[in-house]
A and B are shown apart, each in its own frame.
Chain A
Amino acid sequence: MAKGICVFSISLLLFTGIRAAAQDTVTVPLNFRAGFDIAGPVLQALDRDLVSYGAVAAIDLNENFAAVGGIRYSSFSASEYSYDFRSRGLTFVVGADKNFIKPKMMAGKHYAGIGLRYGLTFYGQEAPRLEYTNPWGTGASSMPLSRHAGHFLELTPGVRTELFPGVTIGWNLYLRLLLGAGTGDHLKPVYLPGFGDGSSGVATGAAYYVSISIPYKKIRVFIKPKPVPDEQEGDDVTIPVTNTGRSGTGSRL
């Protein structure tokens, strides 16, 4: 009996799936994107101590997910009353973005979602002047240039839209969690390139990207239609379509 119910259920699912494929599909272009962060140069105009140039590339894996990789060069210098500090480095990030917009609405042009990235930064830091004063007097020291590798996780919600055909703009907020600065507990960098304040375990901020977008493939996505109530009186049973998916063979442009 149980086996019979199981076979019936599977048959029902298959049937409804075929029905959905026949009725509700949308074609979504998958894109390759490459862009740069314009927030860095804007900030540099206001704060000449921080130089930060970032570029990012992404490729849509399907209608929901994109693989992302990025590179950023950062240079920072600070001269405070008790210390001078300099750091510079190159940061690489890899990860994925999840688009929450429905395939029918996004049409390969719009994005509102969240990304998770892993960042690895190779940097050097030095402090040519360090001073500390207490009742005994002032102790002066310095920290010579030393090279380290730090790493972090980045959670980055954001939005993106098509400005012109082939050009997208979008901004991302980011929340970065430092996994390790590579320096030990005492000489964490005042500014960890690609991350932010190295003395804090968490950094926040935003980036504003302008990208070119090149479609490389189109896929057909089955979408979930709204359940239609059965018109027969006294019978409230509806069969919601639960199967969503893509066609296995995408047509290349």
Chain B
Amino acid sequence: MKSGFRITVLVLLTLLSPACSEQACYDDTDPLVNVILLESGTGAAKESDSLKITGLSGASPVELVTAKAVTKFSVPLNPAAETAEIVIQLNGIADTATITYTNFIHLVSPECGYTIYSVIQGLNTTHNIIDSLIIENKNITVDGERNMRLFY
């Protein structure tokens, strides 16, 4: 009888424990466009001397990336729009890429809430330093997969 009571108490504690605990978010919630920098002609990875990515949104530009000596970069898309205009300044020379996309909601977890995934619909770029910008994977998620190849 005593052991039965103990087991009952243990079960009740098991039941009640989730109600008392507040879980933290440990998952990645930021979908990013992952881009690799490649050399035109050879297709080999080519390191930039300097890289600056700026998003043009509304009244003020948004600084997304500032880096030196990189062969890849990742930028988020604007979750409140379906077009993102991005200035890519490679080794001091700027090009503008315009990405059109559609958004949809994705549940990450109850702790982290929802995020917004995108599917790229179109891509245009100027060609001051960029030779070509090619879509490799149009799904923008938190998986970390490569989405674009930038030849310059």
State yes or no: do A and B come from one complex.
yes
- Interface residues of chain A, those whose CB is within 8 Å of chain B, are 39, 42-43, 46-47, 78, 80-83, 127, 130, 132-141, 143, 159, 161, 171, 173, 186-191, 197-200, 205-206, 208
Q: Tell which of B19, B78, B104, B108 touches A47, judged by Cβ atoms closer than 8 Å.
A: B19
Chain B neighbourhood of A130, CB < 8 A: 105, 113-114
Which of B84, B103, B107, B117: most chain A Cβ within 10 A? B107
Closest to A83 in B: B113
Residues B19 and A139 in contact, CB atoms below 8 Å apart: no
Partner of A136, one of B16, B79, B105: B79
* Interchain nearest-CB distance for B19 vs A (Å): 4
Which of B6-14, B41-49, B129-137 is the interface stretch? B6-14
Say yes or no: A43 contacts B79, CB within 8 Å: no
**Given the complex of chains A and B, what is the CA–CA distance between A154 and B81 in angstroms?**
43
In the bound complex, residues from chain B placing their C-beta under 8 Å from that of A161 are 4
Distance of A47 Cα from B19 Cα, bound (Å) = 6
* A136-B80, A138-B80, A187-B107 known, 8 other contacts, Cβ within 8 Å: A130-B114, A132-B113, A134-B76, A135-B55, A138-B79, A159-B7, A186-B107, A198-B107
Given known contacts A137-B57, A139-B116, is B79 in contact with A199 (CB within 8 Å)?
no
A-B contact pairs, 14 of them (CB 8 A): A46-B19, A78-B110, A127-B114, A132-B113, A135-B63, A136-B55, A136-B62, A136-B79, A137-B80, A159-B7, A186-B117, A191-B110, A197-B109, A205-B18
| CB under 8 Å from chain A, chain B span 46-67 | 55, 57, 62-64
CB distance from A172 to the nearest CB of B (A): 9
Given A127-B114, A208-B12; A134-B107 close (CB under 8 Å): no
A47-B19, A139-B79, A171-B11 known; A132 vs B114 contact (CB < 8 Å): yes
Residues of A within 8 A of B12 (CB): 39, 42, 208
Chain A residues, Cβ within 8 Å of B63: 135
Question: In the docked arrangement, what's the CA distance between A136 and B138, Å?
Answer: 20
The reply to whether the CB of B127 lies closer than 8 angstroms to some CB of chain A is no
- For B, the interface residue count at a CB cutoff of 8 angstroms equals 38
Contacting residues of chain B (88-114) with chain A, CB-CB under 8 angstroms = 103-110, 113-114
Q: Looking across the interface, which residue of chain A has its beta carbon closest to that of B30?
A: A134
Q: Which 9 A-B pairs have the closest CB atoms?
A: A139-B79, A136-B78, A82-B113, A47-B19, A139-B80, A134-B76, A186-B106, A46-B19, A190-B110
B105-A46 in contact (CB<8A): no
Closest CB in chain A relative to B84 CB, distance in Å = 8
Chain A residue at minimum C-beta to C-beta distance from B77: A136
Q: Does B125 contact A (CB under 8 A)?
A: no
B107 — which chain A residues lie within 8 A by C-beta? 186-190, 198-199
Q: Tell which of B16, B77, B104, B109 touches A199, judged by Cβ atoms closer than 8 Å.
A: B109
Chain A residues contacting B77 (CB-CB under 8 Å) are 136
Q: How far is the CA of A173 from the CA of B11 in the complex (A)?
A: 8
| Residue pair B15, A208 in contact (C-beta under 8 Å) | yes
The answer to whether A199 and B80 have CB atoms under 8 Å apart is: no
Q: Is the CB of A199 within 8 A of B110?
A: yes
> Do B16 and A141 touch across chains, with their CB atoms under 8 A apart?
no
Which residue in chain B gives the minimum CB-CB distance to A161?
B4
Who on chain A is nearest to B79 by CB? A139
- B110 to chain A: closest residue by CB: A190
Neighbouring B residues of A173 by C-beta, 8 Å: 11, 14
